[in-house]
Amino acid sequence: MKADLHLHTTASDGRLEPNEIVGLAAKVGLEVIAITDHDTVGGVAPALAAAQALPSLTVIPGVEINTDVPRGEVHVLGYFIDFTDRKLADNLLRLRDARQGRAQKMITKLSSLGVDIEWRRVEELAQGGSVCRPHVALALLEKGYVGSEKEAFDRYIGHDGPAYVDRMKLLPVEAVKLIIDAQGLPVLAHPADIDGLDELVPKLKAAGLVGIEVYYRDYGSDVIGRLLRIAEQYELVTTGGTDYHAFGDASEVMIGEALAPPQSVERLFALADKRSLELLKQH
């Protein structure tokens, strides 16, 4: 079973429409994918609809919630989320609104540094999805202020950059709870660079974390080994995916090039089934 459980669409900062991601996934031979856009489930319904014509491909409804820690961000994935849940939609909308205000503040700061980009263009680059820092980076690149998106982060909008703006704070443990409240299975995303990972994991586990993303992009065997030990210690499902955005740059890891192990995917499906049974019994 080939499964890439971390994909973005135009609903957030991906460059492909949900139906295009589904088509591409089928083309590269994937059998299970998860649509995991930043702070939105807007891409899930169109992806599920597109996959109906493809019996060989299963789409897991998902989300990736961005949260804040003292130094940087922690992302929490939610799988098998009830994407029709009203409370989840409201909470995600609040997060996106906060992000939009943040991007506008960054543009103001940039302007005070003599770096002028237009809000309208940044919004356009987000293609109707939530406006994120990569869109600001792209606008800087377009105007020639930087030579790459990475340089935009290093020089301006990264955590220590002069145009960095803090966001509405959501703690990782709060994201785990949000996902559980919407019947989802919370999984810690790309954990290798998280400061204080060893302290964070037990806290999230206590809040209901079920998995950890071990096979991510081009994580090497050292990193994978370290994450596997953490997964074993806390009995977490070891997931994987590429975090594919279709950015189109040479360094991007292509969809389907990092996979979740088949037994982990089965474990996730089993946990989702078990939870649906429990929900049925409650009603």
Positions touching Zn ion (CB under 5 A) are: 64, 75, 189, 243
Whose Cβ is closer to Zn ion: residue 190's or residue 267's?
190
**In the complex, what is the shortest distance from the CB of residue 178 to Zn ion, in angstroms, rounded to a whole number?**
16
CA distance 64 to 62: 7
Least CB distance to Zn ion at residue 262 (A): 22
Which residue, 37 or 117, is less far from Zn ion as judged by CB?
Answer: 37
Tell me phi and psi for residue 38, to 5 degrees: -65, 115
Output 98 or 275, the one with its CB closest to Zn ion: 98
**In this complex, which beta carbon is closest to Zn ion, that of residue 161 or of residue 241?**
241
| Least gap, CB of 57 to Zn ion (angstroms) | 20
Query: What separation in angstroms does the CA of 11 have from each of 18, 46, 271?
Result: 8, 10, 27
- Tell me how far, at minimum, the Cβ of 40 lies from Zn ion, in Å: 12
Residue at token pair 């939610």: 78
Which uninterrupted H or E stretch holds 241? strand 237-241
DSSP letter for each residue of 46-107: HHHHHHTT-TT-EEEEEEEEEEEETTEEEEEEEES--TT-HHHHHHHHHHHHHHHHHHHHHH
Closest by CA position to 30, among listed 245, 265, 279: 265
* Residue closer to Zn ion, measured from CB, 36 or 238: 36
Cα 280 to the chain's mean position, in Å?
Answer: 29
Smallest separation, CB 200 to Zn ion (Å): 15
DSSP, res 147: S
Residue 75 or 205: which CB sits closer to Zn ion?
A: 75
**11 C-beta neighbours (distance < 10 Å), count:** 26
| Least distance in angstroms from the C-beta of 77 to Zn ion | 8
Query: Which residue lies nearest Zn ion, judged by its C-beta?
Result: 75
